[in-house]
Structure 1
Amino acid sequence: MPIDVKIKKGLKLNLKGEPENSIEQAQKSKTVALRPSNFHSLVPKMVIKEGAKIKAGEEVFFSKYSDKTRVVSPVSGTLKEIKRGAKRKILEVVIEADTEIEYKDFGTMDPLKSDSSEVKHRIFSTGLGVFLNQRPYSIPANAEDTPKAIYISAYNTAPLTASFEVVLKDKIEFFQNGINALTKLTGGKVYLGVDKQAASFLKDIDNVEVLNISGPHPAGNVGTLIHETEPLNRGEKVWTINPEDVAIIGEQFKTGKYNAERTVAITGTAAKHKKYFKTIIGSEVSSILKDYEDNSRIISGDVLTGEKVEGDGYLNFFSNTLTVIPEGDKHRMFGWLPFKDNDIHSASKTSLAWLFPNKKYEVNTNLNGEERALVVTGEMEEVMPLDILPMQLIKACMAGDIEKMENLGIYEVAPEDFALVDYTNTSKIEAQEIIRNGLDIMITEVG
């Protein structure tokens, strides 16, 4: 029987700029880029040099601290450039793509008929392991660990994000095969979160514990699902993975080829053509986003947790969404007045937004205020469904107090769980950045 996960705390953001439910093939990207920063805490060691020829699925670099954490090429082609920053830190590995992709053949494997150790070795030795994320700390999974459970959320409650019903439309068979492989990695359950109101498209998936999700954002976050089912204690680990990445794993087991296809939704009011495009992981933004308004912010990901990219930049490795919204560089006269410009959304009662719960709003990047002192208002708790004290945890992270961070639940959270805190808090602090720094302290000091 499916388990109901009903969340009351949170915030539903109705924003303009949703995509059409139609998919087009994007223009072929001339180059793709792999950025080590997409895999937090991974320090890359290059396997190939500039000018080398490579096939799709062949190793490009691995983690300095774990040679089983490998990143492989999404295309065949030539390693064009290794872009470096301060102290020769690798920022981007740019690969010039061939006209026709040539794949490395890993051979086929039926995960249900294979030993757990064989499946695990296949996943991590062929570069599929980087799709798995570890909680606590929100870092790439370690091949030496055995998680107590694996979580997949196929219901993204964040605003202006890709619908996995559209993304997985033609990939259900590969998705099921990927689920079969994941069951071999844990002695516990594989949890699949779905929208309770629209769960039919994944109703026939086997070998999973279905979680029927209802409630406002962040109901669909994997952190919320973990908290509601198997909360983490010190020393325990769970792994999480995005739905389309499950399908990539399943396809590689089924065909022997690493098909790094990524279905990306173009969203946001500043984008002219809001629809879905099939492309490749790490593709050029310009190969997908053809027409958008001047003076706009391009975000690889959603408006709450995504990262800013340039028009000549590259997609984030994990992003299924490319959001384009206006830059907030225009200030409103007397913008603090409660009844002025009621087309602006606010979680505060000083705005009229609460009177129109179904109204859709156009947003920009304006913070509507500067950073100020933290004040106990209870607003953080209103949007935090996890049983933690968000303000106290933020303060403990800022102070670097390891004992307090442990007692206040640092092992249960990731930066994305504090996205709504970023949005609603009147202190204008960067809560996600603070939590990320706190997690990094725990990695260094506790491990």
Structure 2
Amino acid sequence: MSKHFKLKRGLDIRLKGAAEAVLENAPAPTTVALKPIDFPGLTPKLSVKAEAQVKAGDALFFDKYNPEIFFTSPVSGTVKAVNRGERRKILEVVVEADGKNEFASFTKADPLKLNRDQITGQLLTSGLWPFFKQRPYGTLAKPSDQPKNIFISGFDSSPLAPDFEFIFKNDIAAIQTGINALSKLTDGKVYLGLSDKTANSIFSGLKNVEVNTFSGPHPAGNVGIQIHKVGPINKGELVWTISIQAVAYIGRLFETGKLDLSKTIALAGSEVKAPKYLKTIHGAEIGSLVKGKTKQEGTERIISGNVLTGRKVEADDYLGYFAQQITVIPEGDHYEFMGWAEPGFGKYSASKAFFSSLFPKKEYVLDANMNGGERAFVLSGQYEKFLPMDILPVYLIKAIMANDIDKMEQLGIYEVVEEDLALCEYACTSKIKVQEILREGLDTMVKEVG
């Protein structure tokens, strides 16, 4: 039965540069790449060597500890490079596209007529399985596990987030097919979270899924917040999450028998000349998407993802595995003398410290300047204002810093991943790297508890 959840805690950061409802076909990228660093805890092992010829859907590498999980090429072409870091750690596998769009062949079928093993096998061999994340820990889901439920968020509430209504208006049939496949992977339910502003949206008629609506500020669109409200995770339980984009990929796979990883992303931010939507391919080179579209090329910060959780990239880097937008903002490599003492009519503050708080609908140009360094981490009740969960985030972070596993469990580490505490990090007056610390804690729990 559908429910509505009204969230009061959180924050909408009002940035300039939201993408207009205009779709443009981006130039076909000459290279695409998959980056194992997008997957916490993954130890990749190569399936191919440099100069190998691949089709879209052919395996590039696999998980050493779960060798049935493949990561496949989004395009056909030649494996151009395997870039490594310290201790020969694989950082990215780069494929040079040949423009032929040749696809590996997969089964074309109605998921409702297949069993769980057949669907799982197709998702594994096609390389779509890595889109499943498990909670707790936010790591790769294991095919052998049986999730309590599967959760999908049908909207994004982060700054300058893309409009899923616009992006997926022509993909509803594929999304329905994808949901049909998901319904065979759990004995529980498939849940879809929608914004109350789009309750009667293109997603509202979907079947084999329970729809719940959410209202309130960011992080209302985070799937972790939705899990906390709909079906909190207890110790020993696990649920799976998947993006609405990945659901569309799955639907296309079963409808066509091909791995079609074309996607629409938002190019947004105050440093973009004309913010809009771009149609591109999964893992595309950033330069093919931003070249000629920013105001001051070479001096701005390009982010694969949103400003809270995205990764800083350069033009020769690649679109993140889960990124649905590219954000471009000023770098912020300048400093103001006693800027904190000014009235701040043109500045934004999460704590309403400036006079700008008198203009609640004003949009701002914010840069990446930290405005200070790390300092004493004190209890102030600040984090609780931005996290609509019944946990104590400051105590949790301190327990992680103390490596106290029992306290981590008691304080709710099973319910959160980095994106859920991203606002806490943004607003933190102590400049604590909350997301980095939380990931260290999650990795510790995986190692010690499993």
TM interval, shorter chain, is over 0.9
TM-superposed deviation, 1:355 = 2.0
- CA–CA distance in structure 2, aligned partners of residues 60 and 287 of structure 1: 22
Equivalent residue number for residue 33 of structure 1? 33
Deviations 1:117-141 (A, max 9, x none): 2212221232111111111110111
Of residues 146-155 and 109-118 in structure 1, the stretch that sits farther from structure 2 once superposed is 109-118
SS of residue matched to 2:264: strand
SS of residue matched to 1:393: helix
Q: How does 1:293-442 map to 2 (within 5 A)?
A: 293-294=296-297, 295-337=299-341, 339=343, 341-442=344-445
- CA–CA distance in structure 1, aligned partners of residues 125 and 100 of structure 2: 25
Equivalent residue number for residue 151 of structure 1? 151
Q: How does 1:75-94 map to 2 (within 5 A)?
A: 75-94=75-94
Q: How does 1:116-265 map to 2 (within 5 A)?
A: 116-199=116-199, 200-265=201-266
TM-score w.r.t. length of structure 1: 0.98
Deviations 1:391-413 (A, max 9, x none): 00000111111110001000000
Gaps (5+ residues) in structure 1? none
SS of residue matched to 1:19: coil
Deviations 1:6-33 (A, max 9, x none): 1111111111110111111110000111
TM-superposed deviation, 1:424 = 0.8
Deviations 1:169-222 (A, max 9, x none): 111110110000000111111111111111322121111110111000011101
SS of residue matched to 2:190: strand
SS of residue matched to 1:387: coil
- CA–CA distance in structure 1, aligned partners of residues 56 and 352 of structure 2: 53
- CA–CA distance in structure 2, aligned partners of residues 40 and 262 of structure 1: 23
Matched letter for residue 230 of structure 1: G
TM-superposed deviation, 1:90 = 0.6
Deviations 1:244-267 (A, max 9, x none): 110000000110000011211000
SS of residue matched to 2:191: strand
- CA–CA distance in structure 2, aligned partners of residues 115 and 33 of structure 1: 32
- CA–CA distance in structure 2, aligned partners of residues 274 and 214 of structure 1: 26
Matched letter for residue 322 of structure 1: I
Gaps (5+ residues) in structure 2? none
- CA–CA distance in structure 2, aligned partners of residues 384 and 437 of structure 1: 20
Q: Is the 8 A contact 1:347 1:353 kept in 2?
A: no
Q: Is the 8 A contact 1:153 1:193 kept in 2?
A: yes
Matched letter for residue 269 of structure 2: G
TM-superposed deviation, 1:296 = 0.4
Q: Does 1:282 align with 2:283?
A: yes
TM-superposed deviation, 1:338 = 5.2
Q: How does 1:44-63 map to 2 (within 5 A)?
A: 44-63=44-63
Q: Is the 8 A contact 2:282 2:321 kept in 1?
A: yes
Matched letter for residue 44 of structure 1: P
Q: Is the 8 A contact 1:338 1:350 kept in 2?
A: no
TM-superposed deviation, 1:111 = 0.6
Identity value in percent:
50
Deviations 1:73-109 (A, max 9, x none): 1000011111111111111111010112100110201
TM-superposed deviation, 1:311 = 1.2
Matched letter for residue 411 of structure 1: Y
TM-score w.r.t. length of structure 2: 0.97
Q: How does 1:106-125 map to 2 (within 5 A)?
A: 106-125=106-125
